[in-house]
Structure 1
């Protein structure tokens, strides 16, 4: 079975971090999420991928290539213009088999794929929508479930009082090729607003399967931070590169240099080839990307640095997120967010 990963959008809600990269390539635990996703699916038996690309196509293709370095096969379905979620699937039709997975590639999740596939094989429908439960379904597509998991209605972004349930579309689908007949070619089509309601009305069989693993829409900086705290607390057991120090919540990459009197307060994840200056205090809840340089006397907590950041001597950072190559300090900064093309000044 192939997995089609939808990675063509811009990810505007995570800006400015995604000003220069697609949201699925945002770093999660010092590695692009799209890479984590492919490796996780590979471990669960999926070794053939199609990636739907539009914006920043070159970045994705240059990083992932044909997949051989990961032990998988990757093909690319290129959109000349944005086609929407269903349009992107239709555009990739020639690369897909009789049954395939579709995944919104910017959704953070860890699930039992084989359990979902078995559920799909046991019903007579064309589509299985993987579902997760949230407190407020008004930002998502909410479903009304019937007997045996059949979905009776699908409402995209309902008002809270009008939502049919708290079960929402998790952005992961198992699709039979026959469902592609319901998607017109050549234009933008929304699977949530158009295709699913059409399939339900026509009795084609749309079923829901509730996920039991971790799920997070990282579309805001607040949720992006929380995702990393969940990784550090191991609520989301994402593999962490580097050496774990005595199971105390500190992970160090290779080539890390720590100055005299510097203190790491767990949980902390330090990427490879990072330098931390004398008497700096890093943590709790800090993620430092590869090749970053932190000056002396820095205080940094609940902060995420991507690769090759420079933090000047004496800076104090809390609840900050800095994209690749950001230079910051020596100011006191709280909840600052910027990408590599900016230099942070006083708020």
Structure 2
């Protein structure tokens, strides 16, 4: 079975971090989220992938290539323009001739596939939508289901007292190839607003099942940071690179800590990072590979992507630095998002 990964969105709410980077390639715990997802799915038995890409698609292709390094096969369906969720699926039709999986690749979720696949086989419909349960469904499209799990309708952003459930679309689908007949070609098509309602109306069999485990849309800076804090707190059990040198502190290879450095958990430090004397790192700090942190720097509630430099005496809080960002000495960065556009990602 192939998995189609939808990675073509513009990521506008995460700009400037996504000016030159597809949103699913934004690092989570120092690895691109798309890499975490592919690795997880490979462990679940999926070894063939199609990546639907548009915005900065060359970044994804350079990083993953044909997938051989990860023990998988990767093909690409490049969108000539932003085609929407269903439009991207239709655009990949030539590569999908059997039952297939679809993932919104910017949703942070590591699902267990076997229960979903078994449910899909049992109900015999054309589509299964993985669902997640949220505390407040009023910001989402909520599903109404019957006792068999068949989806009767979607209700967009209902008031809490009017919501038929607290279940929403988790961004993972199991689809039969016949679904292609319901998607028009060569235009933008939303699977949520057009395709699924049409399939429901025509009684093609759209079912939903709750997919347990961590789920979060990382599409805003606040949510992107929260994914990291959840990973550091182990509420999101993402694999961490490096070793745990003290409770809540993970460091990679080749890390050099100056005298008097204080690491306040939770902290994740990547490979080949140098930290100057008397720096304070944490709580809630993620430092990417090949970063340099100067003396007397205070860095908390912040994320630094690879090859960033923070010079002596600077203070960072609640900030995100993109690749190769340089913070001058003695500056304060609070609630800042800074990105340098010239970085080319390499696997």
Q: TM-score, normalised by structure 1?
A: 0.95
Q: Paired residue for 2:198? A: 198
**Contact persistence 1:2–1:97 (CA under 8 A):** no
Give matches, 1:68-217, under 5 Å. Answer: 68-158=68-158, 162-217=162-217
**Contact persistence 2:20–2:341 (CA under 8 A):** no
User: CA separation in 1, counterparts of 2:186 and 2:159?
Assistant: 32
Deviation of 1:28 (Å): 0.3
Deviation of 1:94 (Å): 1.0
User: CA separation in 2, counterparts of 1:71 and 1:173?
Assistant: 23
User: CA separation in 1, counterparts of 2:105 and 2:21?
Assistant: 13
Q: Paired residue for 2:279? A: 280
Q: Return 50-59 or 139-148, whichever deviates more.
A: 139-148
Q: Does 1:48 align with 2:45?
A: no
Q: Paired residue for 1:20? A: 20
Partner SS state of residue 102, structure 2: strand
**Contact persistence 1:156–1:193 (CA under 8 A):** no
Q: Does 1:240 align with 2:240?
A: yes
Structure 2 gaps, min length 5? 343-347
1:294-326 CA-partner distances (Å, limit 9, x unpaired): 100011111110011111111111111111111
**Contact persistence 1:127–1:173 (CA under 8 A):** yes
Deviation of 1:165 (Å): 2.5
Deviation of 1:140 (Å): 2.7
Partner SS state of residue 122, structure 1: helix
Q: Paired residue for 2:67? A: 67
User: CA separation in 2, counterparts of 1:140 and 1:286?
Assistant: 30
User: CA separation in 2, counterparts of 1:97 and 1:113?
Assistant: 20
User: CA separation in 1, counterparts of 2:237 and 2:151?
Assistant: 31
Deviation of 1:161 (Å): 5.5
**Contact persistence 2:316–2:334 (CA under 8 A):** yes
**Contact persistence 2:130–2:170 (CA under 8 A):** yes
Deviation of 1:263 (Å): 1.2
User: CA separation in 2, counterparts of 1:41 and 1:235?
Assistant: 20
User: CA separation in 2, counterparts of 1:277 and 1:58?
Assistant: 36
User: CA separation in 1, counterparts of 2:283 and 2:55?
Assistant: 36
User: CA separation in 1, counterparts of 2:7 and 2:140?
Assistant: 18
User: CA separation in 2, counterparts of 1:237 and 1:112?
Assistant: 13
Q: Paired residue for 1:304? A: 303
Deviation of 1:157 (Å): 4.2
User: CA separation in 1, counterparts of 2:163 and 2:5?
Assistant: 28
Q: Return 132-141 or 166-175, whichever deviates more.
A: 132-141
Deviation of 1:331 (Å): 1.7
**Contact persistence 2:19–2:341 (CA under 8 A):** no
Partner SS state of residue 245, structure 1: strand
Q: Paired residue for 1:345? A: none
Say how many residue pairs are matched.
341
Deviation of 1:24 (Å): 0.3
Deviation of 1:73 (Å): 0.4
User: CA separation in 1, counterparts of 2:275 and 2:89?
Assistant: 46
Deviation of 1:124 (Å): 2.0
Q: Paired residue for 2:345? A: none
Partner SS state of residue 251, structure 1: strand
Q: Paired residue for 1:11? A: 11
User: CA separation in 1, counterparts of 2:81 and 2:334?
Assistant: 39
Q: Paired residue for 2:326? A: 327
1:77-104 CA-partner distances (Å, limit 9, x unpaired): 1111111110110111110132100000
1:129-163 CA-partner distances (Å, limit 9, x unpaired): 00011133343321111111110002344555654
User: CA separation in 1, counterparts of 2:165 and 2:278?
Assistant: 52
